[in-house]
Structure 1
Amino acid sequence: MAGAARRVDYLAAFRCPAGGLAAGRPRVLGVGAEVFLATGGELVYVYDREARRPSAAYAFPGQVWHVELLVPRRALCVLCARSGLFCVPLAARSRSVSRAEDDSKDSELSPSVTPVGRDACVLPDATLCAFTLLDNMLVTVAQGPATWKMQLWEQPWAGLEPRPGTQIGEVAFPASAPPAGGPGEPPATCFLPVLCCVSPPDPRASRSPLGSPGSFLLHGALFGLLFGADATLLGSPVVLCGFPDGQLCCVVLKTLVTSRTAPGDPRTLVRLLHHLEEPVVLIGALRMEPQPQEGMHSHADCLVALGHHGRVLAIKAGRDQAGNPVPELQESRLPGPVLCAAWGRDSRIYHGTPSDLCVVDLAPGVVSTDPMKPSLPPLLCPASLRVCGVTALSVSPGAPEEDTELLALSAKGRLLACSLALDPTVACPARMEAALASRKIQDLLSAISNVSERVSSLKKAVDQRNQALTRLHEALDVSCALLSHQRGPRPIVCSTSTAWSCRGLHEELTATCRLQNRSGYSLGPGWTWCLQVLASSHACQLDAAAASTTYTVPVQQLAPGAQREVTLSLGSSEDAGANLPTTISCALSCSLREVMGGARLPPDLLPTQEGTCLPLGVHTVDLLQCLRFPGLATPNTQAARRAVSPADPVDTFLRACQEQRSEPGGSAALRAKYLPPSVASVRVSAELLRAALEAVHAGVPLCCATLQWLLANNATVDVVRAQALTSVQGVAPDGADVRLTIHEVTVPDLGPTGPIQAVEIQVESTSLANVGQAHHAVICRMQTLVEQAAQGSRPPDLRVQRLRQIHADHEVLLREVQALRERLPLEDEASARATAKQLLEVYRQLRSPSLVLL
């Protein structure tokens, strides 16, 4: 066909909508001497070829998507966007309102325009996006938010006036890639489903509908291979539907009719024939074999589907090596993108691109004696018709012996007719062979390039998914390992140690957190190490909420056996020390989106939270860990004690008193005079401590072992252990002195058999806040010790009467504290000072209880 003779006749020019015809959905349909066309707007024109002028125009309520002619009733069936299906009799002109075109220069002759009202709408469904006609039935396709819905109706124009049709059957099935759009509205896409009806050959029929729009006959062998024995035995037509996502599906109409009461099951009614992976723009049937003898029916023996980017699917009936009939599928490639396409008589397909109108013959010169033998060409060689900018195309029906005529709409709104000679020998054979060889080489190179690009793209996608699945598998292994070792040794450990460091002229308390991977798995991208630091409220701000700071550290890559460290600041000595105790919570967070990396996954496969969080542990930094012992340090590392002014409310008050009374000695002398050192003590059973510390501190005196156990997390514990100390004086973060003293005592009157040997842990400091923090740290350690010793042991024998007496004494002290606190605001300065001194003495008695931890 490269040199086939063609003659182009420009018939008329029509007004283009905004953006040109390519921006809408133009349609052209020729029946006899009339041409029905839509230019992508709301108007449908009727062009009379004999008079060579438009004879009528119909204005519809919305943009016209599809036009078909109901020949028996001589009526137009028009699908309007978001309005539904309209039926307009062509002879009904009584409601016509003549008006001139707005732009007469864009139209050769302006016909009268007939407005079409809502009363002509036979199916008012805003979701309709395609329809086709078959005998006395109507097939429609509607688009939901995530589904396609195919419905079968009795033709709603059987009477004299259009009326709503009766629904016969329905089936809904999900779309593979539903486009975005509002609920209940069709998608805003430039592609619509393509519908056609396929019928098995009927020997009683006198004529074949091959070539008529919307329906055709298919060879019996191919019909049975494609649609199964049920459709063949029922003699049922089959609806073929090509969707914008590339699906090519079929539905047997007589099985759809059985679903009158409820929608059918798509698993049994809908069959996926193929997936083009691009929008389907044409479904047709071709006759590959030679013209049968006169008087015999000619049936199509090849089913063809064409995609927007030029992919062609051809299906014929063939045989396998054993001689069994099988469908033969072959994919080829045409130049794209395809704006419009049509199939004609014999084996030719016509398609228009932005730059050319081409014709391709699927069986050029192929003659097969066996109707079941495959005869598809390995390459498709389209021939140019030298017509550009075609946006709508159709083949005019005619007799087989006549030349083929194409009706086309150009992008500028011109209606033209292109006649093609059936005899391809009118061209020069040598030129045709050269052009055909050149076209074959170009197509072969294009096919190789396309296949190479597709293979490279698929390989990249597969590599990305494999890498993402590997990371996801490692993440699941790490999660399972952490969750299965809640009580035993954990495969991933987070530990914390504290130290004082110099930062310029200031000393700073820091905590070093270490993440150790003791498992056999790697932590890769997507894992984040989360550290939350929760500091206690300051002593002078009891009602203030605790300050919390969260640090996130990307792990990136942590191989088995590796570790990572992070140093956090807990406070500076210039700021009156840290707010102790401070809690550090460690956790591992895994983000599934980062683990999957560049792999493309549907959004519904990922959870809403997009990850998981695995706690690793909680560490507490208290005053005993932060004490410094300048007097115990070696000469090489001895640090000079710095005079730090503690930011304490008592110091502020005493400094103000010094300025007013000019009393020498400063705040330290006033503190020593009016505020003697505060003392708090804890008594623990010597037997309990000896049993708990024997395994670690065997052969060490009990008091020395107790002091070493209390300072086990302190940086100078080695010096304390080397000197076998039972008393030590350190410096708190705010600069005040804190003394720890351990000695053995005898507690009488508690045991029924005699005195109880105990160890008294005494905390002494001039700062009441430091005494409270140190006392809290000792109590926490003792609580852990008692909980471990209480497992598997019975309570000791005690004198209950003595315990009741101690409890009563404490109740008296608490009532006295309450009375003194209520009286303090009402007294004068001298009485308030005496009351405050008495109150401190009562507090001192409360901090030295007579009870013993057993």
Structure 2
Amino acid sequence: MSGRCVVETLAEFGFWATPNTSGIILNSGELAFIYSGSEEVFVFHLKDRTLTGILQCPTSVNDLVLSEDEQYLFIACRSAVYCIKLSHELLRLSSIEPSSSVELKITSDHLVISEEGVLCLLTFGSVLVTLSRRDTSWLLLVNKTGELPGLFEMLNSYSIPAASDGTDKRKPVMHCVQLSNSSSLSESHLEPTLFKLLFGIDSALIRSPVILCGLPDGRLCSFSLRLPGIRVVHSLEEPVVFIGASVVMETEPSPHARCLVAVGEHGRVVIIKTCKGATEENSRQVSFTEGCVSGKVMSACVDKNCLFLSIDSDLLSISLAEKSSEKNGQELTEERARKIYHSLPNPISLNVCRIIALTKPSIKSADVVELHSLSDKGQFQSITFPQARVAGELSTQQQKQAGHSVKDLLSAIGDVCERASNLKTSIKSKNQILQHLNQVANISFLLLNNTEGTEQSIRCFATAKWTQLLQTDCLHLTCILENGSPYVMEQGWTLNITIYPLSDSSQEHNTSTNYSFLISNLNPGQKFEVTLPLTTANDILFPITISCVLVFPLKTLGDEKQLASLLKVQNSIISLPLNTLAVDWLHTLQLTSSISEKCVTTHTRSNSSLDSAQLFLRSKGKHKVVKAENKLFSACIKISLDLLKHTLVSKNSSKETPPSLCVALLDWLLSEPHRGVRGHLYESTTNTAVQHAQASNGQLVKLVAKEVNIGVEKETLAVVEVQVESLSLAAVCGLHHAILDRMQVFECVVLAQNVEPLIELRTEAGLLIDYQVFSTKSRIKLRPKRQM
């Protein structure tokens, strides 16, 4: 057998055991009687490992004790003391149901002492000693078998003043010793010298048994069954939980020495021996070995060599045998006479915890010790270990095994430290992922729960600007993402911008261009700016729609396996649409200085021939190119003067008042951001109602605003007329559409005043309006429509 303890659970009773209410006693190693402070006593057969029966008592059980011949079991209940004859009752139980446990009720027929509140029992021959608590004292009664069968008569009573208020959590313990009169080894026979030194010569002369009583206040008292009076042998200054006597076997050939052992609840241990060579005349030759173990003692027991202590976290063994010494008896006696109190040997850990009650150890086989115990969870256990372990005598091979065990333990500690470090790193990583994910969730909820009609706290706006690249005019869009939320857009977010140009009838499928830009830690209030190309000169596919979307792939949070275990998702993407931008013909206008109509006509005619050639080359000769007609196209839009006063004047109330509403209207059309986009750089340097500009297709256009009066239903209405003129039909249609789109901001005011704005178009040739051809020389009135 190895040097380790082996713990085997024999039965589970399912109750919670406490040191003050639970216990075990054995009957010749065959039967175990187990109680837990309730009305039940369990009878367990050790060899068959079965529950033989259950003794059902009238009230809760405080203590159990067997007679010396082990024929009778005495049960101390709260109401009285009962006794059963084991051979008769157990035989009756086995005959009823051999294969299962049977309940036996304890009745008044089993009553032996009508004494209430008995806490502790002790038997000695035909004597039964009981100990109970009375208000301010402990009452100890000595009872003997009476004349009536089954009843006991009181012989003597002793009263011990109590030092506590009766709220003791531990019950008292008792042990009986007597003078040794033979060479036989017994725990109840004490060495004559020690007996006389402790209890007096009178008790030794009449060979009176002595009862040792350990009280909850720490006193260790003794009284003789045949002599009056009570003596205090020692005080542990803490509740006494165990008293025992041990036959100590020494390695050197010498007379057997005996000792008394007392254990306190808080770990104090007292071993009382006689010094070697001591005489009865010198009482100072009694050796008191005191020490203290760490922990609260639940239970204790003793055998020939060792004291076993069950503390809350371990099972300890303390060797009681003394090591052989080279000093002679006289020298050793003198040395011990100088120092009576000795230190306690170091306890040995058996690595078994949560033991509430222990039984006396037994030798199971060669050099193997067996203990029976009761755990705090009601488990009845068998504990076996080598005798050399508790004696502290490990062989060389066992010491090597212990060395390997230490190495294995250190290696295991290193592995645990490494796993703990990895776990700490994993927890930190998961916390970072959750913090990052929390920011992502907050931003998502903020954008998804945005109320319709209100601006998003995270939005895009842009500015269109013409630049020259490789002698080619290009229109670029500077897109700015503004974080107006209280959350940080950490690394992992991507801004996707998709450009949808106006579909061309010559193209079979709509084309779009997508751009992706990574965002890195955009704090609240900060802006993220990107620039991308929109189109080149002479490309007339306007308006252009720009879709802005925030994208967050969850895989950017961390390791994919860790993320999958944390979120139970893989390859998931969060897509949050932002506001949509639009670039129209007004955004692309490049304002020029005032020039004459002749110059405009000449410039436009030169470009029209170029346009025809480019159109022919693009069509690869499939389409006929009609010779451009040099006719001037114009579109006219009339808006109520009162309506403009209520809108433009309120919008520009903080600015310097312009000379007229005509100039203010043109400035507003060319400079005010529309659909999230601000047009090409515009600065109003002259207060003029006539603006010349170059369109995105290279054609010159003229914008004129003037006040006129028109008749509406027999009334005269003052309006502002905005006229668009150009030799390019596409430019006129595009600008007309852009101006109508901007007029939608006046819709609420228009409806409030119940005034319908008039839009009048005059053309000298076929005119394409909203991409539909109207008849020549027509006069048309339209109501603006909201562009979806």
Query: Normalising by structure 2, what TM-score?
Result: 0.45
* Structure with greater Cα Rg: 2
